[in-house]
Amino acid sequence: MSDRAVVLQETGIRVSPATQLQFSAQSVLGESPPTIVFVLRLVDGTLVPTVDVMPPLGVGIGRIKTFILGDSDLVYAALIPPDDGVTEDTMYGSILLVGLFSGAGEIRRPLASGYITRNQGVVWPPTSSLSPRKSIGLYRFTQPGNPPVGTQFSVSFESRAHIEVESIRYTVVTSAAAATRQLGIECLSGGQVAFRIWATSTQAASLTRSYWYDIRGFGAAAVLTDIFTPIPFIPLEGIAVVRSIADSFQAGDQLSVPSIYGTVTTSTV
C-alpha cells in the first residue's frame, strides 16, 4: 500500500508507557495549593481530562504530585491558581515529564515553569511560539485504512515538507502460517534510503503485536504484546517516505494503519 499521508492531525507529546507527568509547586507563604489539570488523547482519539489538587503547601515547602501516563498523547497540562488568590511572586510551579529508560537512566523533560499569580497559572503548551521556523508543530500522520492483507504500508509526504520523525507505531496480526516474521521500518528522503532498522524482537504465527519505534527509549518493564525499538531523530526532506519492511511476511498477515509522529516544517518557497 502506497499513499500520501491524508490525515494531518495536530497533537501533543507522544508519551511512552510508564512515563510520569510531574507537577510541583512551592509557596513562601504556605498559600492554598493550585489545581492540576491535564488532558490526554488516547490512541482511538478520545480526549481524557484529569482535574486534581496539589497537596497542601507548607511555608516554603515544595510539593510534588506525579501521574503515570499510558499509551497516549499529552495535549495540555496546567497549574491553575487557587480560588482564594495568590500574593504576587510568592508561588512557583513547574510541569515536567519523567521517564526511566533502559541504558539512559532517568530523563527529565521540562514542559513549563514560572510564578503562579492571581490571574495566571503555569500552562503547557504556551500560547505562542518563539520558533523562527514556519508551521512548526508536533503532528500525527496516518492513513484512512489498513493496507491490504499480506502487504506493507508506505506513507509519503509532500515534497515541500521537512519532517523529523520521533515515533512510529503500528500493529501486526499474524496468520496461522508457520514462520518467524521480522518487522522493521525504512525511511526515504529525496528518493534515497535515509534510515532502516529492524525491530528488537520477532513475531511467530497467530499472534497480535504492537510495534513502537521511539526516540525516547523505553523502560525495562515492557508489556508482552508490545515490541519496543529505540530510534534516533530521523530528518526527512524532499519526497519523504516512511514504510514498513518485513522478512518472512505471510500472505494472511495483517498490518494496521500506522501512526507516525514528528515535528514538521513546511517550506513557504
For residue range 26-60, what is the model confidence (pLDDT) as tens digits? 888 878 889 999 998 887 778 889 999 888 887 77
Q: Are residues 60 and 148 in the same domain?
A: no
Q: Are residues 117 and 136 in the same domain?
A: no
Find the CATH number of the domain harbouring 217: 2.60.120
Asked if the structure places residue 3 within a domain, the reply is: no
Residue 185 falls within a domain, yes or no?
yes
Range in 65-69, 196-200, 247-251, 260-264 the model is least confident about? 260-264
Domain ends where: 124, 144, 175? 124
Residues 22 and 71 placed together within one structural domain of the fold: yes
**Residue 117 shares a structural domain with residue 220:** no
Specify whether 97 is located in the same domain as 151: no
Out of 65-79, 90-104, 114-128, 213-227, the most confident range is 65-79
Q: Are residue 199 and residue 225 in the same domain, yes or no?
A: yes
Using the predicted structure, report yes or no on whether residue 3 has a pLDDT greater than 70: no
Whether residue 82 sits in one domain with residue 56? yes
Residue 5 lies in a domain: no
Whole-number pLDDT of residue 158: 65
The whole domain housing 179 covers: 132-266
Residue with the larger pLDDT of the pair 222 and 110: 110
Q: Is 107 found in the same domain as 173?
A: no
Q: Per mean pLDDT, which of 115-124, 230-239, 249-258 is the most reliable? A: 249-258
- The DSSP annotation for the chain comes to -EEE--EEEE--EEE-TT-EEEEEEEETT--PPPEEEEEEEETTS-EEEEEEEPPPPPBT--EEEEEE--SEEEEEEEEEPPTT---TT-EEEEEEEEEEETTTEEEEEEEEEEE--SS--EEES-SS----STT-EEEEEE-SSPPPTT---EEE--TTEEEEEEEEEEEEE--SS---BEEEEEEEETTEEEEEEE-SS-B-TT-EEEEEEETT---SS--TTEEEEE---EEE-SS-EEEEEEES--TT-EEPPPEEEEEEEE---
> Which range has the worst mean pLDDT, 16-30, 97-111, 127-141, 214-228?
127-141
- Residue 7 placed within a domain: no
**Number of domains the chain contains:** 2
pLDDT at position 204 over 90 = yes
What is the share, in percent, of the chain residues with pLDDT greater than 90? 28
The pTM (predicted TM-score) of the whole model is 0.57
Q: What is the per-residue pLDDT for 223?
A: 54
In a domain, 71, yes or no: yes
In a domain, residue 33? The reply is yes
Same-domain check for residues 67 and 175: no
